[in-house]
Chain A
Amino acid sequence: MKWKTDDGGWSPYLAGALLGLLAIASVLATTQFLGKTSYLGASTTFVRAAGILERTIIADHVASNKYYTETKVRVDWQFMLVMGIVLGALISSIMDKSFRLESIPPTWEERFGPSIGKRAIGAFAGGVIAMVGARLADGCPSGHGLSGMMQLSVSSLVALVMFFGVGVLVAHMVYGRRTP
């Protein structure tokens, strides 16, 4: 097993193990400084972002919407965590020169051609479906996949099986069976 990948990245086992340590440090830090244990997650932030954007146009509607009220539309710990991911990935990719401006992912282009419009529609539609699903399931691969599995939550085990099972099925339908 190599510690570095050919393009200067780290072994996924090593980077993953370090993320495990970060998850432990993070529950300790949130318990200590915020008085409540918080777990790594991402999808709730999309609800807050939607609420913040909607509030600039239809403030009354957001104030009276039950889901927004329950979620509490504000820039909180997780919101900044998600913003931090952008910055952390930027720093890392600049450091090891893997930063690339990419407008179409190679796998997508192979199947659907170089049209950015097509990719935009696919990504948008996929995003809508995935987020409705993540909010319904109450978590995404961060909240369920990482944090829930670390706590041995039954819901996270089931959610992860559904995420990946249906993901495999739909990916084969959309991208076709290609030989590696």
Chain B
Amino acid sequence: MNTGQWLGLITGVLFGFLLQKGRVLRFDKQVGAMLLQDMTIFKFMLSAILLGMVGILLLSNLEIITLSHKPMNVGAVLFGGALFGAGWAIMGFCPGTSLGALGEGRWHAVFAIIGMVAGAALYAELYPFLKLTVLAWKDFGKLGLPEAIGISQWVIVPIFWVGIIALFFWFEKKKL
């Protein structure tokens, strides 16, 4: 294995370890969030975002790393996002957690994994058609929120922190 593969493997092991420790891999946690009964996956995800965003935006300001926004292609993000949401609810896993669920013994995740590999193959066939239709509607390109609304990221980040922490208190109060 080359350096990239080793680095990926080590990072993945730590990622999987934390996903499992946070108890976010389970079907019931994922569907529980969508049924608005158990916010464990949001507590986990938003905590990661709060810390990660400060470090990543700072490192990018210092020009140590480069940001890599995914394109704001309107049709793609709206349509794709909706399809993903529907599939996620039925399958009860997202791509990353399906593999983790398999690791903690929830072997029924293999059906979801096979489905997702099939979905990827299907997408590869649909791609030329989508490129001429949905993907061709309107693309704002790689866009960050600070540039989009003209407000510094160091104003947005504190607002984000306050909002999310308030949400955490609400989750705890409501025992979600």
Contact = CB atoms under 8 A, between A and B. Distances in A.
- Do A and B interact with each other, yes or no? yes
A146 B106 contact: no
Contacts of B15: 19, 22, 40, 81, 84-85, 88
Contacts of A49: 117, 120
A105 to B, nearest CB: 3
Contacts of B107: 101-103
A108 B26 CA distance: 12
A133 B90 contact: no
A42 B65 contact: no
B14 interface: yes
Contact of B108 (A11, A93, A105, A162): A105
Interface string B8-19: 111111111111
Contacts of A122: 90-91, 111
Contacts of A177: 35
B95 A43 contact: yes
B88 to A, nearest CB: 5
Contact of B115 (A80, A126, A148): A126
A167 interface: yes
A126 B114 CA distance: 10
B82 A105 contact: no
Interface string B76-119: 11111111111111111111111111111111110111111111
B43 A153 contact: no
A165 B85 contact: yes
Interface residues of A, number: 134
A96 B24 CA distance: 15
A158 B78 contact: yes
Interface string A105-133: 11110000000100111111111111111
B123 A67 contact: yes
Contacts of B53: 20, 149-152
B1 interface: yes
Contact of B5 (A75, A124, A146): A75
Which of B53, B105, B119 lies at the interface centre, i.e. has the most chain A CB atoms within 10 A of its CB?
Answer: B119
Nearest to A157: B145
By CB atoms of chain A within 10 A, which of B113, B116, B127, B145 has the most?
B116
Contacts of A59: none
Interface string A158-176: 1111111111111110110
A84 B69 CA distance: 25
Interface in A140-155: 140-146, 148-155
A20 B86 contact: no
A98 B73 CA distance: 41
Given A12-B24, A130-B86, 4 more contacts: A87-B16, A90-B103, A96-B21, A103-B107
The 4 tightest CB contacts between A and B, nearest first, are A84-B12, A127-B115, A88-B16, A130-B87
